[in-house]
Amino acid sequence: MDRWVSGEEDPPPSRYPRLADGTAVTSEQPRCVFAAIPGVGFPAYPPQVIRLDFGRDAMSGVATTLPPVEGKPYPNFVPAVDRDGNELSGIRLPDLTVPLATYTGWNLRHPQMGAPDRLMSLMGSTIPFPATPEERAGRDDPRRSISERYPSRARYLEEVRQEAQRLVDEGYLLAEDLELVLDQASRRYGLLAVVREPAAVGE
């Protein structure tokens, strides 16, 4: 950022989801992907902004109609996801390009809290891939297992290094952070590349 502000170097291009290239879509596209993952729900009530009519003088800061008259909702678009459920737009760190799990920026409320089809505020999700083909088959999970993707930890970390270096070359990641990315990836591999027992209902 210092080079962009104090120098003459332009920042790398924005990777915000867009309708033009299909990276911004209606919620039905990710809903279909998540519906296929066993034990995973999808928000029944995604955030929505509704048009409000405060009266003819509203543009002048004067509300003459209270409560306001509700109009049609604005169109609501979300980032498109790949077949694993990971977003296709944005700055895709190795977590997404060399994934061990499905990562979301949203999470549903726990059934014990009530309203389990509604969003939990400010919480994301990590939904690990099956560790092995056998675990995948036992859970009927459409996502490829970790061992099918990466034959070893070394292979996984080499792919992470390549993706991180690409981000450094493109200006989205600092070179000094590359080893930190690798260290965190190695720790995640140790946590997620193990066979997990199915969770009991409500856990």
Residue 128, H or E segment = strand 125-128
Residue 16 lies inside a defined structural domain of this protein? yes
Q: Report how far Cα 112 is from the mean position of its chain's Cα atoms.
A: 25
pLDDT in tens, the chain (203 residues): 788 888 878 888 888 999 999 999 999 999 999 999 999 989 888 788 999 999 999 999 999 999 999 999 999 899 999 999 999 999 999 999 999 999 999 999 988 989 888 888 889 999 999 999 999 999 999 999 999 999 999 999 999 999 999 999 998 999 999 999 999 999 999 999 987 655 544 44
Residue 69 lies inside a defined structural domain of this protein? no
CA distance linking residue 116 with residue 42, whole number of Å: 10
Residue 199 lies inside a defined structural domain of this protein? no
Residue 27 lies inside a defined structural domain of this protein? yes
Question: What domain count does the chain have?
Answer: 1
Q: Which domain holds residue 169?
A: 2-46+80-192
21: number of Cβ within 10 Å: 10
Adjacent-strand bridge partners of 52:
70
CA distance linking residue 37 with residue 85, whole number of Å: 9
Phi/psi at 150 (5° precision): -135, 115
CA distance linking residue 136 with residue 87, whole number of Å: 22
Name the residue among 71, 45, 73, 47 with its Cα closest to residue 58. Answer: 71
Residue 62 lies inside a defined structural domain of this protein? no
CA distance linking residue 61 with residue 45, whole number of Å: 31
Q: Report how far Cα 109 is from the mean position of its chain's Cα atoms.
A: 17
Strand extents, DSSP E, 9-123: 24-25, 50-53, 69-73, 78-79, 101-104
Residue 57 lies inside a defined structural domain of this protein? no
pLDDT of res. 202? 44
Phi/psi at 47 (5° precision): -55, 140
Residue 71 lies inside a defined structural domain of this protein? no
CA distance linking residue 129 with residue 115, whole number of Å: 26
Whether residue 88 contacts residue 79, with contact meaning beta carbons closer than 8 Å, is answered with yes
